Amino acid sequence: MKIVVIGGTGLIGSKTVERLRKKGHDVLAASPNSGVDTITGKGVAEALAGAEVVIDLANSPSFEDKAVLEFFQTSGRNLLKAGAGVKHHIALSIVGMERLQGSGYMRAKMAQEQLIKGSGIPYTIVHSTQFHEFMAGIAQSNTVGQTVRLSPAYLQPIASDDVADVMAEVALAAPVNGTIEIGGPEKIRLTDIVTRLFKATHDPRQVTADPHARYFGVELDDTSLVAGAKARLGKIRFDDWLSQQPPQKKSA
């Protein structure tokens, strides 16, 4: 079966491609570097020719409100137009997206999902919680000097390996024409998870809890970013994942 993974060289994409190839499928890891650009449309029709499944893992290079909305709308329209004959269109989105529409990024993801739902193409949308691998970036975006000001709200972080396992399974299953949720095996406060990260990596920055600290432009509460009761849960806990990362040199 031919499967096209848009964003197939990224964190989740590369792992999903590897899993599907090991199962014997013909998998195209599509990206601008491979001549497939979902914004200009270049190479998209050629890449999707004969594909039964498309997995959209593309992400905007800019999180600015207008730019990110244009990215997901343009990319989504080009993919859906070229993939009109595809039997299963899959997209990765975010747990809590619909609850955080004060964020321009979350509004853009909503727009992407609306395009998919209105396309008439059989689909599955996977809502995932935040990846373990993204915690450092979240901390950096909230850093001023040596202080990281973060919401103490709960997250339910998931390892990229667990996400890729689900994406590969969904690619080989029938479309649900709806949304499924996935999350990590434990709920951890954002301030606590970054504190653990800094301790493990000898990062001298200090974490300060601030209920009004913004996350992609919005304030969080304890329900904003946690998965629902029916979510599929990954197996890899944050501390176990952290212990497997390459050692970091101690910061000055």
Q: Which of the residues in the chain have pLDDT under 70? A: 248-252
CA distance 154 to 91: 25
Q: Would you say residue 208 lies in a domain?
A: yes
pLDDT of residue 245: 87
CA distance 106 to 215: 11
200-232: burial string, b at 16+ Cβ within 10 Å, e else: eeebebebeebeebbbbebebeeebbbbeeebb
Pairing mode, strands 206-209 and 53-56: unpaired
Alpha carbon distances (Å) from 97 to 170, 218, 228: 20, 11, 13
Structural contact between residues 190 and 238, judged by C-beta atoms closer than 8 angstroms: no
Alpha carbon distances (Å) from 69 to 2, 111, 121, 225: 29, 7, 22, 21
Q: Would you say residue 95 lies in a domain?
A: yes
The phi and psi torsions of 138 (rounded to 5 degrees) equal -65, -45
pLDDT of residue 248: 60
Q: Would you say residue 252 lies in a domain?
A: no
Q: Record the tokens describing residue 209, joined without a space.
A: 């809890």
pLDDT of residue 247: 73
Q: Would you say residue 251 lies in a domain?
A: no
pLDDT of residue 252: 36
The phi and psi torsions of 145 (rounded to 5 degrees) equal 65, -120
CATH number assigned to the domain comprising residue 238:
3.40.50.720
Convert the pLDDT of each residue in 175-220 to its tens digit. 999 999 999 999 999 999 999 999 999 999 999 999 999 998 899 9
Neighbouring CB atoms inside 10 A of 179's CB total 17
Q: What is the value of pTM for the model shown?
A: 0.94
Range of the domain at 149: 2-243
Q: Would you say residue 249 lies in a domain?
A: no
Query: What is the tally of structural domains in the chain?
Result: 1
Alpha carbon distances (Å) from 207 to 155, 158, 195, 236: 16, 21, 6, 24
